[in-house]
Chain A
């Protein structure tokens, strides 16, 4: 950090003026002890004695101002410093840093470039240049600068920024590479571990994600993000009680976090405690009215509770916030089917099929609807579409299918007389134990009861978004006062 070499250098640079700099050691001592009040008094005294020419006093004063959040004042003082001693890279760097903190990134880059002319082997300059370029969205330049900084000297922060740039550009695998190196370099940094874990989670590599998140939690047990991510992974595997106990740890420290309440709600949903689930989810929704995942989950739970009007309401709200998702349209269509609005249900299914690329459930549900409407031909074509998707999925990944969905599909196949060559029978045996969020379907033998489009979507659980921008809370809802 900055003060490590600050004091000796100040002394050796101005040996001819010992009177001016004679109390620098004391200023330094007070500053590093965080005794800012004393320090300021001493600085004032020193500046009066030296008529404002004591560079180190001005410098430390500026640092204190910056710590207090008065960036503008600190900038002015650092500028004074660099006038007093124009040959110093440190002064220039600090000026640039203050400019950066004020949001004047272009000006900061110029000053950093000047500083770089004086000292070419400084990693800080390269790092900060990289960050400035990142804010200006010049990602290529930023990456070069950050790589340069890494060559000069490796730091966690530089890795973090580099990873962020890759994520901003949408290159997930490169970002993972960067974070991997970073974790190798400093294996005890909980933030790095958490971010890497979340990235693996996004890719679906649960094993590695769990490993890294677990490490993060051992180093920092109260880490909110890691807890949330670990909990959501456990949820995905059905360990609802374990996940709940994890959430309980953070719930007291972060009582108003929408993702947390969302996940808790989905835990209850998994344990078939629907009322509790709804009340948790509604609290989450109250806190974050713009979050489509919570709305999706609310819709899902209400579908399960067979409250189709509410389900429609939440799902259509979710669609307004996230119009590009097939599953939402599918669930909306299920709700519409039960509200006896078949025309709109069909249109909603059309939209779902058009948007969705890999979820066979969409086609299956559509097929069921069409079959129930007597449109055997359309049902058959949807069924075939579903088979295509299932085949593709089987080739591409080890995802296993919801047993309930398989059951419905088999019946459907039998009804349509195409079901001999079922593609997933083997897969389904392995996945017997997996209980996913699906409707508790009525066991049925006739095709008629297929109508209650059984297998619904999976519950969404949100692992605290890392790449996303922070959610802005809206004003809380205002209940009017009751006047006499």
Chain B
């Protein structure tokens, strides 16, 4: 063997190449070895270097960017009252769905998640799509991109993830740490803070350390201010967090800080302030993709789809491989009668090497509606092949059912929707479409039962309500028809057929 590289150098090199596992193991060896020979005169010893390196390696293994980590839990959605205005003017709040001014596609064209909020093209961890009104509603409905938890469930999961990777217990015992001592040494403190915050997920200790450190830095380090702000934000102290971020921005213009501050404003339900902030940020950093993307997201949240699309296009001008922008513009084109253009956007994603079930499913749909029949079914096949769980399989089968309806093969469509339900028993759209097919066969009772299931599973969809209303009206059961029609109107106030039906029913009730 030639020259054996020095272990610390080797570990450092591993860290730079993002081989965290090896780096951490090597550091462990270093730490376990005798460290009596450290020079007492130097401020930082080899031991400390290894310790710090291991902290960083462990942190990086589970690191998730705090900006994208935004998950409101049931308690925060329902019980927390951070917004100042309870009844805000339309267009100035995120909590009022259905205040669309942008003239996006209506629910008759584009599916909605909760009443009035059309499904977006790209699911982020912070996608909210409407809020439940009461605790009961919140428990009964799925809302976010991930399964919802009662309080900060995901943060806890991140924290515990590290326990599994370390069979001999946690690396640092936080309760035995003298934070005041570490706060004196900024080089150690930063790494330790990140470890506590991201790996251990112990906000209180992290805040304690940050407070001591910023004091030591005489409040002149914006980084510590941002970290304190992050801690406050996690703890739910939004006003305090805002103060910290603002003071950090005064010291140093950073995109990160702007994004954090905007997050705070959004949580306080002040989208217009957030928009202004983003625009100021764009003056400082012209053409910054994350800022433009943030603006687009806010517009999308406020149901202003057309201006959201404008901003997403700006994003693409800067960065033409931005997955979120491409997906959002693609889905927007698909739902506004331009499947060909949507197809081009999704093919762009395919060219970029994205390879998953959703993409192929979208490609299949776009191909079918853009009349590119040669690529339709093969895309769907691949989507089925790539599906990772049963929900995804169900989605693909559901869309295949639509294709089957499109070619007029109702038996195939029936089987597809059945398969959807086999894969995902809570698929309200499939129940509704099955009911329509049953109706066409003349099986009224089955259709009724299916529609009832659909409307109880997804009360925000107008189709099952409306179909049930029409069905009941046909049989003569005007009472049920009226209740269902009212629900349908609630879900989609602009639906003309529902309005006509209600008018007709009211005439029946008033007559004679």
Contacts and interface: CB of A to CB of B under 8 A. Distances in A.
Interface of A: 1-2, 66-67, 69-72, 93, 97, 100-103, 105, 124, 128, 135, 157, 253-257, 279, 282-283, 286-287, 289-290, 295, 307, 309-310, 313, 316-321, 469-470, 472-484
Contacts of A310: 371, 373
Interface string B118-129: 011111110000
Nearest to A289: B405
Contacts of B474: 469-470
Contacts of A477: 111, 365, 399, 402
A478 B429 contact: yes
Contacts of A279: 337
Contact of A313 (B373, B430, B436, B506): B373
Contacts of B505: 69
Interface stretch (B25-33, B78-86, B102-110): B102-110
Nearest to B105: A476
Q: Nearest 6 pairs between A and B by C-beta?
A: A320-B408, A103-B477, A317-B408, A475-B429, A71-B479, A482-B327
Given A105-B476, A317-B406, A475-B432, A470 B470 contact: yes
A257 B496 contact: yes
A69 B402 CA distance: 36
Nearest to A71: B479
B361 interface: yes
A482 B405 CA distance: 24
8 contacts: A256-B109, A287-B108, A317-B406, A319-B408, A320-B409, A475-B432, A482-B362, A484-B123
B124 A67 contact: no
A318 B408 contact: yes
Contacts of B365: 477, 479
Nearest to A101: B478
Contacts of B396: 480
B270 interface: no
A67 B358 contact: no
B311 interface: no
B361 A480 contact: yes
Contacts, number: 173
Interface string B326-342: 01000100110100000
B408 A101 contact: no
A101 B509 contact: yes
Contacts of B512: 1-2, 93, 97, 124, 128
A66 B511 CA distance: 10
A64 B119 CA distance: 40
| Chain B interface extent, by class | 35 or more
Main secondary structure of the interface of B (DSSP, over half): helix
A472 B467 contact: yes
A255 B106 contact: yes
A256 B395 contact: no
Nearest to B112: A476
B482 interface: yes
A277 B432 CA distance: 30
A66 B476 CA distance: 15
Nearest to B402: A477
Contacts of A102: 477-479
A481 B432 contact: no
A471 to B, nearest CB: 9
Given A105-B476, A472-B467, A476-B107, A481 B436 contact: no
B195 interface: no
B73 interface: no
Interface in B120-179: 120-125, 145
B61 interface: no
Contacts of B205: none
B398 interface: yes
Contacts of B357: 480
Contacts of A309: 373
Nearest to B482: A69
B108 A473 contact: yes
B475 interface: yes
A129 to B, nearest CB: 13
Nearest to A318: B408
B509 A478 contact: no
B463 interface: yes
Contacts of B145: 481, 483
A476 B337 contact: no
Nearest to B392: A480
Given A279-B337, A483-B358, A478 B496 contact: no
B436 A474 contact: yes
A70 B486 CA distance: 12
A445 B193 CA distance: 89
Interface string B437-462: 00110000000000000000000010
